[in-house]
Structure 1
């Protein structure tokens, strides 16, 4: 396959996501021996990275193919191969730039080894270590961050609140009068509602903060109330506290500009 690539994996990728193998499609994956040595240091403990280290070692143990060290172990249909490799020598290019024989420099040597063995394939180092990425770039080695947990397109998140004007004031009075909310059928919205859509509803004489409750199919009032000593200062923070304190909502994602209180609420 013309576009098939080789990916060299750093230790921190495994500690971050022990199932990373599933994310490289038909490309080949190389794990340097030094990475396995570093994983040994993280197997004991109760933190997430310790769990990931143990989980990956167990997964690796299931791949009993002897080709893992020579021809690569086949990872299945639609996937590439997995190799465990060791850099026999430290490349002169590495020694000249970084004389110390550190784990990072051994990984860089492995990248150069694989590159020399497969000159027609692009070989890329994958690491979450910023310093290692800088060292690789200084040597002209292709390198990438592992970003499976980052949201690239924030448009996947809907707007947290909308301002809707021109409502019948009696309808807003009804929201105040009925704590359980008003049936959504009594409202006319321009766009289809999604669960927990939040609104600032306004009429000529009154307004209310409200949210769509998908469980009851009602528009409910959102009160500006303190929680655990935290008092909301605006509509957005009021909506955020409202959903955070709702036991029926199991997962809440909050986006916004710096300084808007996201970390405090988290």
Structure 2
């Protein structure tokens, strides 16, 4: 049996560009250790900071954070390490240094044709020169980590904002119980309120995790929704299965109980943030859109519907396609347009109905980079493809919601298109975990593919 010897050397963490884009405050999260930023990384941030790409704001935020830490430090101080002050406690933990480019005659393991290789070569030379310090490259680029390890360096992913280690740990938004749910409780107080039945349960009798707006289902047909949780009690709203399945929004009814639970959250005016995850075709977009249209046109709850999503790198400048912002965004928000058409497929004049809905509901397609800095009042903000957003980007969008607004986040964690994100590091996962238990937020993981028999078979077998 091989015994591993603990490495007691001091550590120096080297941050790659993608880490600072993922979290502009990343350099504050390495406690007492030394943080190093190569000059190549600063140059990459400089190139990206002035564009219209969705990462430009993160680059500028990272540059401002580096500048705030370095302050008026002299060049020698920057090379040796500037203390990273903690504002709340007025003490410093760790230091920040900028690494200059590789000097002549230093160790060169890889060709310097790529910026990644320049950084790795610099760190190899640094590690050879200082054996008392363990140099650790922190990057979200898997291939760069592989190359660094092949060159004898330690390399890690940035996981500070990963709240779950396995995507299976992410809450589904509901708890399923075998047999009867009520067999687990020693005492239940039931109160008939206005238009609803509430059950008051002892918190000590519920062994599993429980949070506000979590649903409860059992094998005997009971369905409930947790309204509040404290140290003593759990308040549960009794939901009737038939009533849930008979819900209708803009002519649309749920196909299964998960869609019905999602509609219950979407329609509730007290729930200001709803996230829906699930496979393609599970009904995320059409449920959200039908609810948004009805609440905007019939109920007059919202003045407009803001639809947005992350766009592929080619489209980030939004200058390759002709027309207005809406026309440029239309190819990337095609799912919204497709579902509006699906909701009016059987109308006498589908085209006229679609134009009527777009105008009356005031549906606006917005590019992600144009949402920053704005504040939307009495608006329903529909964010599609959330799995491709970082936690920092998710925060930037959700904080745009003003008084009377609601945010609906849609995504499929099995279809992440961004190279530096995984299901556990996605902003959608981060948001779902952070808002778990929020009294005005809810989450449902949809299952099944009601889109068509073909789509369901493809999802299961391809």
Q: TM-score range by the shorter chain?
A: 0.7 to 0.9
Note the aligned Cα RMSD (angstroms): 3.7
Gaps of 5+ in 2: 1-6, 86-90, 184-189, 230-234, 289-409, 411-462
- Distance in 2, Cα, partners of 1:2 & 1:102: 33
- Shift in Å, 1:54: 0.7
Match for residue 153 of structure 2 among 138, 141, 145: 141
Greater gyration radius: 1
- Shift in Å, 1:259: 6.7
Superposed CA deviations along residues 146-204 of structure 1, whole A, max 9, x for unmatched, are 12232226657486223362769xxxxx99x988321223x67841753123122576x
Structure 2 partner of 1:130: 142
Q: Secondary structure at the match of 2:270?
A: coil
- Distance in 2, Cα, partners of 1:118 & 1:27: 16
Superposed CA deviations along residues 11-41 of structure 1, whole A, max 9, x for unmatched, are 1111111000121111101100010100011
Output the TM-score relative to the length of structure 1: 0.76
Q: Secondary structure at the match of 2:55?
A: helix
- Shift in Å, 1:260: 8.8
Match for residue 260 of structure 2 among 231, 238, 253: 238
- Shift in Å, 1:120: 1.5
Q: Secondary structure at the match of 1:184?
A: strand
- Distance in 1, Cα, partners of 2:283 & 2:165: 19
Distance 1:226 1:134, change over 3 A: farther
Superposed CA deviations along residues 79-126 of structure 1, whole A, max 9, x for unmatched, are 2110001122485542xxx33422111110221132123211211111
- Distance in 2, Cα, partners of 1:244 & 1:83: 48
> What does residue range 135-214 of structure 1 map to in structure 2 within 5 Å?
135-150=147-162, 151-152=164-165, 155=169, 157=171, 160-163=174-177, 165=180, 180-185=195-200, 190-191=205-206, 194-200=211-217, 207-214=221-228
Q: Does 40-49 or 14-23 show the bigger shift? A: 40-49
Superposed CA deviations along residues 21-75 of structure 1, whole A, max 9, x for unmatched, are 1211111011000101000111124555211111121222222212443211011
Q: Does 234-243 or 247-256 show the bigger shift? A: 247-256
Match for residue 247 of structure 1 among 262, 269, 280: 269
- Distance in 2, Cα, partners of 1:244 & 1:4: 51
Asked if 1 retains the 8 angstrom alpha-carbon contact of 2:176 and 2:217, the reply is yes
Asked if 2 retains the 8 angstrom alpha-carbon contact of 1:179 and 1:221, the reply is no
Structure 2 partner of 1:171: none
Q: Secondary structure at the match of 2:224?
A: strand
Q: Does 43-52 or 222-231 show the bigger shift? A: 222-231
Asked if 1:108 is matched to 2:106, the reply is no
Output the TM-score relative to the length of structure 2: 0.47
User: In the comparison of the two structures, how many residue pairs are matched?
Assistant: 252
- Distance in 1, Cα, partners of 2:83 & 2:283: 44
- Distance in 2, Cα, partners of 1:234 & 1:198: 14
Asked if 2 retains the 8 angstrom alpha-carbon contact of 1:213 and 1:219, the reply is yes
- Distance in 2, Cα, partners of 1:230 & 1:84: 58
More strand by share: 2
Gaps of 5+ in 1: 169-173
Q: Secondary structure at the match of 2:158?
A: coil
Asked if 2 retains the 8 angstrom alpha-carbon contact of 1:201 and 1:210, the reply is no
- Distance in 2, Cα, partners of 1:90 & 1:242: 67
Asked if 2 retains the 8 angstrom alpha-carbon contact of 1:202 and 1:208, the reply is yes
